[in-house]
Amino acid sequence: MILIDGIQKEDSLVDPKIHKFIGMFRRPFSLPQVAGYICCSCGQILQSFEAGREHWQMGHWDIPQYVTIE
């Protein structure tokens, strides 16, 4: 998923002719308050709050942002 003009959309909708990359968006840190494992996009299974925070700090859940060129 990506953000185009602040709206979450599918990656396939990015067109370099009409969209400009402006950076990465990082949500404030929070993990679900449920017991269990968290699957990270890097392929690791996280088993603790600390591991989840480390992966968030490393940018594993950052979302690319684009704006429409006018």
Give CA–CA dist 32/47, Å, rounded.
Answer: 12
Identify the pLDDT of residue 9. 95
Mean pLDDT of 24-49: 83
pTM for this model (two decimals): 0.72
Give the start-to-end residue ranges of the domains of the chain. Answer: 2-68
* E strand or H helix at 55: helix 49-57
Does 8 have pLDDT greater than 90? yes
Average pLDDT, the chain: 89
In sequence order, which ranges of 1-70 are alpha helices (DSSP H)?
A: 49-57
Give CA–CA dist 11/66, Å, rounded.
Answer: 11
Identify the pLDDT of residue 35. 65
Question: Torsion angle of alpha carbons 43, 48, 49, 54, nearest 10°?
Answer: -50
